[in-house]
Amino acid sequence: MSEFRHVAVPIALPARDVAAFAGNPVNLPSWAAGLAGGVRSEGGRWIAASPMGDVEVRFVGDVAAGILDHEVTLPTGETVLNQFRILDDRSHSLAIFHLRREPGVSDAAFESDAAAVQQDLETLKRVLEQKA
């Protein structure tokens, strides 16, 4: 079994609103720092500029139901599944990212990844709550 950590942040908006915003690839640059270089649609695929180069982002879950699981295809051709859920808590929601530690990732790199995900979720919260 792989090592993982759940990174979460509460958001003072209904889950459907959070999922609709966070699950729209066009909005990724406004809250996901690694994709801040921009996202464009090419032939029905979403391509994002990342520090690694262009990556393809494809949501594979039921976004309307708060399942924002997405596959990221790296410049190497490797595809990584990121599991991301928005849980409903009446007028509020909880954004939870399942961070999996890949084989060979050092303790320091795993901690850095967790901090980056936490920062992205905090940015998502700030962006959405300021719009409300």
DSSP, residue by residue, 55-68: EEEEE-S-GGGTB-
Is this prediction's pTM over 0.75?
Answer: yes
Q: CA of 9: how far to CAs of 18, 61, 120, 125, 128, in Å? A: 12, 20, 10, 7, 12
Q: Is the predicted pLDDT of residue 1 greater than 70, yes or no?
A: no
Average pLDDT over residues 81-95: 95
DSSP, residue by residue, 13-28: S-HHHHHHHHT-GGGG
Per-residue pLDDT reduced to its tens digit, 95-125: 999 999 988 999 999 999 999 999 999 999 9
pLDDT of residue 8: 98
Q: Which residues pair with 64 in a beta bridge?
A: none
pLDDT of residue 12: 97
Residue where the block lists tokens 């996901």 = 32
Which one is the CATH code of 4-19+58-131: 3.40.50.970, 3.40.50.720, 3.30.530.20, 3.40.190.10?
A: 3.30.530.20
Q: Where are the domains of the chain?
A: 4-19+58-131
pLDDT of residue 102: 87
Per-residue pLDDT reduced to its tens digit, 19-31: 999 999 999 999 9
Per-residue pLDDT reduced to its tens digit, 5-17: 999 999 999 999 9
Average pLDDT over residues 72-90: 95
Given pLDDT bands bounded at 50, 70 and 90, which one contains residue 48?
A: very high
What residues contact 43, with CB distance under 8 A and at least 6 apart? none
Q: Are residues 111 and 18 in contact, defined by beta-carbon separation less than 8 angstroms?
A: no
pLDDT of residue 85: 98
